[in-house]
Amino acid sequence: MHSERVSLEALSQRHERLYCELFTDPVTMLHIGEPLTRESAKGRFRGALASSRRDPVTELLLVVSAAGRDIGICALQNIDRARSRAEVGVMLRPAWHGKGFGTEALRLALMIAFTVLGIDEVWGQFDPSHAAVERMNTRAGMVHYGSWQDYDARPGMRIQRAIRRV
């Protein structure tokens, strides 16, 4: 799936380097969690590839590309068919921050969730001090909703969501 500047494709073995770079980078992980070691990132990558092959799918990891380069990862995770909702997250290489690529990737991920997966609600959690993620989510059409207790979110996180329009 693609927009004017961004495309999303399923994570594959050829994306191991990108995945490991993102999850071991202190700048990228600043508002997400502790950076992983290289070995731990490799192990999580193998797990991510395996989870994408499950039926039914519970996690969909998508590589974000722009200008012919892989620039990040967008995830639809914690896919809950019973509640018809999924959690979304976007990670971009720092050089691509603040240029609208995250917003475009997020819009595409919402489209995939609503049209391909048939999910009714997509939610995201973020550290309230991370204003850039809040702006990205809002520009992609997400609104504040509920609290971290209403979702399977980490304590203190802010929640935004988008609902499928029928």
The span from the CA of 139 to the CA of 7, in Å, is: 18
- pLDDT surpasses 80 at 166: no
Q: What percent of the chain has pLDDT over 90?
A: 80
- CA 7, 10, 14, 20 dihedral sign is positive
Q: What is the pLDDT of residues 24-51, one digit of tens each?
A: 999 999 988 899 999 999 999 999 999 8
Q: What is the pLDDT of residues 78-87, one digit of tens each?
A: 999 999 999 9
Q: What is the pLDDT of residues 124-164, one digit of tens each?
A: 999 888 999 999 999 999 999 877 777 888 888 999 999 99
Give CATH superfamily name and number for 6-163.
Answer: Gcn5-related N-acetyltransferase (GNAT) (3.40.630.30)
Q: What is the pTM of this model?
A: 0.93
Closest CA to 115 of 57, 165, 70, 55: 165
Which one-letter DSSP state was computed for residue 58?
S
Task: Give the start-to-end residue ranges of the domains of the chain.
Answer: 6-163
